Amino acid sequence: MNTTASCRFCGGPLAEFVDLGMSPLCESYIAKGQLNSMEPFYPLAAYVCRDCVLVQLQEHVAPENIFSEYAYFSAYSDTWLDHARRYVETMTERLGLGSTSRVIELGSNDGYLLQYFVERGVPVLGIDPAANVAGAAEQRGVPTLVKFFGVETARELAEGGIRADLVLGNNVLAQVANLNSFVEGIGLILKPNGVCTIEFPHLLETIAGNQFDQIYHEHFSYFTALTAEKIFMAHGMRIFHVEELWTHGGSLRIYACHAGDATHSTEASVSRLMHREREAGLHRLETYADFAERVLATKRKLLSFLIEAKNCGKSLAGYGAPGKGNTLLNYCGIRTDFLDYTVDRNPYKQGKYLPGTHIPIFPPEKIAETRPDYVLILPWNLKDEIMAQLAYIRSWGARFVVPIPEVSVI
């Protein structure tokens, strides 16, 4: 696919990274009454900047159309809640946060994380453009501003005297169309010695693990520590620490402060990780060229398995209805011809259908009722949690199928 667009960070020219064809918005679950209506599909192709090697999508869909009502409620995953609770404990201690501090979360979703700061008496403010999830946050006692974050919102807050000791953003940086405005805004609301932590799926892991299903329209950018540093530096901030996390198939948490803030010296973790990224060749354009071929091979292996299973008369159900599952199913062309249905714990998704593939979504109990031979785990990053919850499928001899990094039957 050709593009004339330029890099959303530096304005440089783009080269193709991987083309996943046409796909619907992966969080646009279909209600029964919409099944016979037209459904918009958009190109799902990722590019890499020839100048700064930031991997990115073009903006085919305005963020207002994606994020004003969002089906992803964070509070439905136990593993995710544990992750949030531990983060709050660590940061409260590390930064000595208390009743005179302030924490601002960008993309605060349903308040699943900030609720733990509220429990500890630390004042918080959530910012999220989706009114429906913000409503759920308010019910948890998390004050939430329903807005897109950028320079404009940051100025309003700073002028109103609202600045933060801790600004955090989990899996939100990827979803920002105007990257420069967002990162500049962080600098504006960060107190002089404040700390910002940002989590995002690590492109190093995405590439190494064939995780092409991390790519979807809602994720405009895909980062390494190397590219993140360039972006924060360009806006007067410095990354002083990085942590590698298991979330989303391998994520990074970067810690940033104002560039001139001497209270946070740069730790060895930063140069160690950047060294590894350079060793993996992530600073060079050529490294990005062979990913597309590996993605095609992953697709063929998964389809071979499914065709073989169906030829043997086996039945398959899915587990989960995550955004990444929709990229996988649409790209591979897997519909109810292979997968009878999927299940999800989120009541918002139950009774609806997956975008594009129109696979129905049921509550998890459906699996025990229908006893499929295989359960395909779509949020494969949570496979241990899911296999433990669904251990009962072994009682009728069923097995789990994990699609990424390549199909495996467990």
Nearer to Zn ion, 52 or 118 (CB): 52
Distance CA 81, CA 6 (A): 38
- Contact between 303 and Zn ion by CB under 5 A: the answer reads no
Only one residue has tokens 């001497």, namely 262
- Contact between 12 and Zn ion by CB under 5 A: the answer reads yes
- Give me 114's structure tokens: 């900030």
- Nearest distance in Å: CB 269, Zn ion: 25
- Nearest distance in Å: CB 184, Zn ion: 16
- Contact between 7 and Zn ion by CB under 5 A: the answer reads yes
**From residue 124, how far is each of 114, 119, 162, 192, 331 by CA, in Å?**
7, 11, 11, 18, 40
Counting residues that bind Zn ion (by CB under 5 A) gives 8
- Nearest distance in Å: CB 279, Zn ion: 22
Only one residue has tokens 């064809």, namely 21
Nearer to Zn ion, 9 or 212 (CB): 9
- Nearest distance in Å: CB 151, Zn ion: 20
- Please spell the DSSP secondary structure of 326-385, one letter per residue: HHHHHHHT--TTT---EE-S-TTTTT-B-TTT--BEE-TTHHHHH--SEEEESSGGGHHH
Nearer to Zn ion, 51 or 373 (CB): 51
Nearer to Zn ion, 49 or 198 (CB): 49
- Nearest distance in Å: CB 234, Zn ion: 11
Only one residue has tokens 């043997």, namely 312
- Give me 326's structure tokens: 């929709």
Secondary structure of residue 176 in the 3-state scheme: coil
Scan residues 44-83 and list those touching Zn ion (CB under 5 A): 49, 51-52, 54
- Nearest distance in Å: CB 251, Zn ion: 22
Of 5-13, 40-48, 136-144, 178-186, which part binds Zn ion (CB under 5 A)? 5-13
- Nearest distance in Å: CB 227, Zn ion: 8
Judging by beta carbons within 10 Å of its beta carbon (0-12, 13-18, 19+), is residue 81 exposed, middle or buried?
middle
- Contact between 15 and Zn ion by CB under 5 A: the answer reads no
Estimate the crossing angle of helix 225-234 against helix 179-189, to 10 degrees. Answer: 60
Nearer to Zn ion, 13 or 192 (CB): 13
Nearer to Zn ion, 48 or 88 (CB): 48
- Contact between 10 and Zn ion by CB under 5 A: the answer reads yes
Nearer to Zn ion, 13 or 21 (CB): 13
- Nearest distance in Å: CB 278, Zn ion: 18
Scan residues 110-169 and list those touching Zn ion (CB under 5 A): none
Nearer to Zn ion, 54 or 75 (CB): 54
- Please spell the DSSP secondary structure of 200-249, one letter per residue: EEBHHHHHHTT-GGG--TT--EEB-HHHHHHHHHHTTEEEEEEEEE-GGG
Answer for the pair 228, 203: CB distance below 8 angstroms, yes or no: no
Distance CA 327, CA 91 (A): 34
Nearer to Zn ion, 12 or 43 (CB): 12
**From residue 230, how far is each of 51, 238, 306, 346, 387 by CA, in Å?**
12, 9, 43, 38, 40
Triad 44, 342, 321: Cα angle to 5°: 45
- Nearest distance in Å: CB 284, Zn ion: 14
- Contact between 334 and Zn ion by CB under 5 A: the answer reads no
Of 7-15, 114-122, 143-151, 254-262, which part binds Zn ion (CB under 5 A)? 7-15
Contacts of 243 (CB under 8 A, 6+ apart): 252, 253, 255, 269
- Nearest distance in Å: CB 9, Zn ion: 5
- Nearest distance in Å: CB 46, Zn ion: 14
Of 10-18, 116-124, 265-273, 333-341, which part binds Zn ion (CB under 5 A)? 10-18
Cα atoms found within 13 Å of the Cα of residue 212, Cβ hemisphere only: 29
Nearer to Zn ion, 7 or 378 (CB): 7
Nearer to Zn ion, 219 or 324 (CB): 219
**From residue 211, how far is each of 127, 292, 362, 405 by CA, in Å?**
29, 11, 26, 6
What is the total residue count of the chain? 410
**Helix %, strand %, coil % of the chain (to 5):** 40, 25, 40
- Contact between 234 and Zn ion by CB under 5 A: the answer reads no
Binding site for Zn ion (CB under 5 A): 7, 9-10, 12, 49, 51-52, 54
